Amino acid sequence: MILTTKQKNVLEFIQNFILTRGYPPTIREIAEGLGLGLNNIYSVQRHLKVLEEKGFIKRNHKKPRGIELLHFKLSNAVMVPLVGKVSAGFPIPAIEEVEGNIVLDAIFIRDTKNTIALRIKGDSMIGAGILDKDIVIVRLGAEVRDGDLVVAFVDNEVTCKRLQTDREYVYLVPENPDYKQFVLRREEARLYILGKVVGLFRRLD
């Protein structure tokens, strides 16, 4: 699930509050605990509504402490930053700002410090099951081999392709016959493998 930074902060505050006190916080306590002040209680209510709609919490509006965590223990969850977009067609300039966060169970992520999520733009990887607007999970600096799906910088632009190599060249191969592969010499400075694609996230609505 994708969360904004503010939604993530509210969710983590609820988690920590329950872990340390054994019961859920009130809306007033969330506002005060996040340093928002009582004038921002409506903002907290809005974030709680979104978290409930996304299935992270369940609320009983008849109780002041009526917040219940759902699905999994948040102590087993990790937040992976969603960073800009990745071209899966023709390269686009890399975007570095964080759009939000993907919440995943820790069982799926080995190295949380070096893992990011990137949004796909284009259809050049449809043969690998990666569609336009999908989000790929990328392990930065991971060892890559021929046949791996990678995210690479080419001329300071970023793209998602399948990696193939020989003694002289690196090939970034699309999974759509309508697109041409990138062919680069191994020593070319304009090529940098950012990381290996290790997961895929897709909204169905």
Q: Which residues are catalytic?
A: 124, 161
CB 117 within 8 A of CB 79: no
